Homo-oligomer: A and B are copies of this chain.
Amino acid sequence: MEIVINRNCNTPVYLQIKNQIQHKIISGELTDDYVLPSERSLAKQVKVDRSTVVKAYMELKAEGLVESFVGRGTIVLPQISKNMTFDKLTVPKINWSQFVSQDFFMNSQNLIAQIMEAHQHEKVISFAGGIPSSDTYPIEIIKTLQNYCMDKYREKLFMPTSIYGCMELRKAIKKHAESRGINASVKEIMITSGTQQGIYYFAKLFVEAGDMILVEEPTYLGAIEIFKSARGKVVGVPVDEEGMKTDVLENLLLRYRPKFIYTQPSFQNPSGATLSIRRRKELLKLAYFYQVPILEDDSYSEINFSGKRFPSLKALDKKDYVVHLGSFSKSLFLGMRIGWAIANEYIVGRFGSLKQITDLHSNTMAQYLLSEFLIQGYYAKHLTKVVGEYKSKRDLMCNEITKYKINGLELSIPEGGYFLWCKLPENIRLSVLMDHAIKEGVMFMPPDPFYSNGSIGDAYIRLNYTYPSKEEIKEGVKRLMEAIRKAQIRKCPQGEVSYSNRNPIF
């Protein structure tokens, strides 16, 4: 067995010996059961210390290439990889779960999958979702615009866009943002695949394992999942009729020194609460004082029934503390997966870096289509129409629920957004209600996913009024009230629904 030592090479001598023997075994030069020279004789042959050969043989043993047997010496073991015939393999199937990273976070996919599933069943009326009414989709306008874009932009529609999104849409969003009081340059605007991706990028950029993150309680379940998947610790700030309670916030800022605050200041999901202007300023002041950035998820702000406009936090912020996320998913439709982030150039640059790694850019056609939808003035008209439609659906759902006069059922009337956040009577167990609701053929969202710790004392349910038709709202409320009655402990007397024009305590 020839071994050549190169004393000018950086590789340690023992490793040179090991590597050469290894190569001889794998290449088949040394056959199975070949007896290696003794450590002493090899050491003599290549003129090294015996301990060097011992070390080389130890490495070979550790890798399962050779084995020492008393009386027989060091023997080359049969290499399965060399002898296996591909077509006659007896190896078992892979067990993928043993390869999964310790950091991998499994979310509440089952719940969401269940709810998405329920939307497919025609017999079930779902108040559980959070999508726009399909009656409102401007199908004919989009069809016309698609043909228009195809003629105007031609091959551009099929090309990649910049990682920041196509310039036409960024300019259109710049103008759109101005209507919300936000003055940003196009360099401060980036297209994302929905606000979901914006929240994900923000978490990816800032959250380290163990970081504290403050959110409204309750809040968007997707945000909680994202922050937890980044191994952040999520702490809830209670919400009342003026939105996030800023006095409690200051206490929590002091106690936890969080990495950032995530908020949906307008018609937040699920509570429907809106941060008052006074509190918006208070929130910013606290952010400045404690040097805590804010992630503003503005998804629902345009579904505004009151006519009263609240400036976005980004519009009020003069110190660059706010990263603003916007979307057409709630005002137009969800299927496009187009949202945007408005932030200073530093953040936009980092988000671009993440875009390049995760999916390169968002769908090109959808970007041009939406830019034309905005530029040609269709968006403004569409918004007026859907807001009117959703307001009347909200009213209908509230009125229908009131009719049933269930004692202890507390309703809030949100001034915008997608949801009623209902407090259930105290004598109801949620799991029992769920069972009855499924039997009756109606779906709602349970409260747990909206809380960072996954459970609360008071039982609320979230009801969506935008997706179901008016007939479905009537029939669905009937079924739900029947389910609530059946789930109630029998002896409870029935009476008035507690009802208020402002949000009660959330």
CA A50 – CA B85 in complex, angstroms?
Answer: 79
> Is A492 an interface residue when CB atoms closer than 8 A count as contact?
no
Q: Does B197 lie within 8 Å of A358, measured CB to CB?
A: yes
A388-421 with Cβ < 8 A to chain B = none
**A60–chain B nearest beta-carbon distance, Å:** 10
Return the CB mask of A96-135 against B: 1 if under 8 Å, else 0.
1101111111110100110010000000000000010010
* Selected interface stretch from A284-292, A434-442, A476-484: A284-292
> Is A150 an interface residue when CB atoms closer than 8 A count as contact?
yes
Q: Does B360 lie within 8 Å of A194, measured CB to CB?
A: yes
List, in ascending order, chain B residues with CB within 8 A of A147's CB: 143, 146-147
Q: Classify the secondary structure of A's interface with B.
A: helix
Q: Does B81 lie within 8 Å of A285, measured CB to CB?
A: yes
Residue of B nearest to A321 (CB): B94
Given A22-B254, A335-B161, A363-B336, A285:B84 Cβ within 8 A:
yes
List, in ascending order, chain B residues with CB within 8 A of A225's CB: 356-357
Q: Does A320 lie within 8 Å of B84, measured CB to CB?
A: no
Residue of B nearest to A282 (CB): B86
> Is A154 an interface residue when CB atoms closer than 8 A count as contact?
yes
List, in ascending order, chain B residues with CB within 8 A of A285's CB: 81, 84, 86, 89
> Is A163 an interface residue when CB atoms closer than 8 A count as contact?
yes
Q: Does B206 lie within 8 Å of A116, measured CB to CB?
A: no
Q: Does B320 lie within 8 Å of A104, measured CB to CB?
A: no
Given A23-B251, A142-B150, 18 other A-B residues pairs in contact with their CB atoms under 8 A: A26-B250, A63-B254, A84-B289, A86-B284, A92-B319, A94-B320, A103-B208, A109-B353, A131-B159, A158-B334, A159-B333, A160-B334, A196-B359, A222-B357, A225-B357, A335-B365, A336-B365, A337-B359
